[in-house]
Amino acid sequence: MAWCGAPRAARRLLPLLPRCAAGRRRIASCIDPSAGLTEEQKEFQSVALDFAAKEMAPHMAEWDEKEIFPVDTMRKAAQLGFGGIYVKPDVGGSGLSRLDTSIIFEALSTGCTSTTAYMSIHNMCVWMIDTFGNEEQRRRFCPSLCSMEQFASYCLTEPGSGSDAASLLTSARRKGDTYVLNGSKAFISGGGDADVYVVMCRTGGPGPKGISCLVLEKGTPGLSFGKKERKVGWNSQPTRAVIFEDCVVPVSNRLGAEGQGFSIAMKGLNGGRINIGAAHASVLLAQEHLTVRKQFGEPLANNQYLQFRLAEMATCLVAARLMVRNAARALQEELGDAPVLCSMAKLFATDACFEICNQALQMHGGYGYLKDYAVQQFVRDVRVHQILEGTNEVMRMIVARSLLQG
C-alpha cells in the first residue's frame, strides 16, 4: 500500500480514513458528513476523502516535521478539479458551488489541515481573479492557477494592520500606465514559493475606499521576500513577509476599479478557510482510542464522563458543519446577510473545532502529546483558524453590529 512507509503519526490516522472514504463503516450516522447531500455531492466528497486518505494522510507528519510544501500532491489534487473549485469552467475551473467547495475542503482537511488550508487560499485568489478580473486577466492567470501549474498568495495583512485591515499602508503610486508599489505584507501563506500575488494596496486616500487590488507575478523587479517564519502549525505551507521596493506593476494588472480593492478582499474572505475536517478526524481518533485503551481494568469507553464529552464533541461537530454549509449556501445565493452568516460560521466553527481537537488530545492522555499521534498535529494546525481572516473577536463585532443596527 502507498502508506506502508509513512511516519507513525500518519499511520495512527490511516486505519480510519480509508474506511471513512469507502464504506464509512466507522462513522455513526449522526456525524456522517454525507448526510443530506445529493448523490453528486456524495461522489466528489468520496473522491476527496479517498485522496485525503491515500495522498495526504500518509505524508502529513513528514510535511509538518520537515516543513515540506507538497507541490506535487497539490497538482494531483488539481487534476481532480480541486485547484479552482468554484471558478468558472471556461478558464479551467470546476464551476462548483460554495456548498460543494465546503464539502470538498472538509474532506481534504481530514488528510492534512495545513495543506488544505493553503489550497483554500489558492482557490480564493483564483476566484477573485475570475470574478473581478476582465477577460484578458481571467484567461492570462486562471488556467495555470486552476491546474496548479502556478500557485497564488493573498496579500492583505501588514506588520501594522491586522484586524484593522483598512488602515494598510502599502502604497501604489500611479505613474503613467503603471503603479509603483512600496511597502510590505506580513504572514503571507505561500510567500516566496507562490507565483502570483493578489495584493491590496493604497491608491487613494485613507480608509477602505482608497484601497485597490493588483496582481503581481513572481520575478517582478522590486518584489522580494522575508525569511521563512517558524510556526506552531501550518508547517506544510511556507509563510513569509512580501516586500515591495519601487515595484513597478502595469495598470492592466489591477482587478476592478480603483478603490474597489477592500470590497474585493472582504468578498474573498467571506468564503474563507474553516476546516471542519480536522475536528471530524479528531472525533474518530478519540472514538477509536476510547474503545481500545483500558484503564482500571476496563475500556475508557465505559467511563460515563468520557462518553458525555465524546457526545458533546460530536454535537458541536455537526452544529459547526451545518453552520458552515448554511453560510456557504447564503454566499452562493448572494443573500444580503451572507457576510454575517459567514462571520457566525467562522466564529462558531473555529472555536468549536479547536475545542474538539483539544479534547480529543486530552482523551489520549500522554499519548496525545506525542508526535507519533496525529491528534496533536490537528490541534496545532487548527489553532490559527481562530486568528486569521479576521480574528474571532472581530467576527463577534460584525455579528453584534448587524444585530444592533437592525
- Residues 55, 106, 158, 389: which is the catalytic one? 389
Phi, psi of 164 (to 5 degrees): -90, 65
Chain-centroid distance of CA 332 in Å reads: 18
∠ at Cα 270 (268, 276), nearest 5°?
Answer: 115
65 annotated active-site: no
Across-strand partners of 247? 181
d(CA 153, CA 107): 22
Q: For residue 272, which of 361, 189, 183 has the smallest C-alpha distance?
A: 189
Euclidean distance between CA atoms 155 and 211, whole angstroms: 13
Least Cα distance to 155 among 225, 221, 106 occurs for 225
Q: Which residues are catalytic?
A: 389
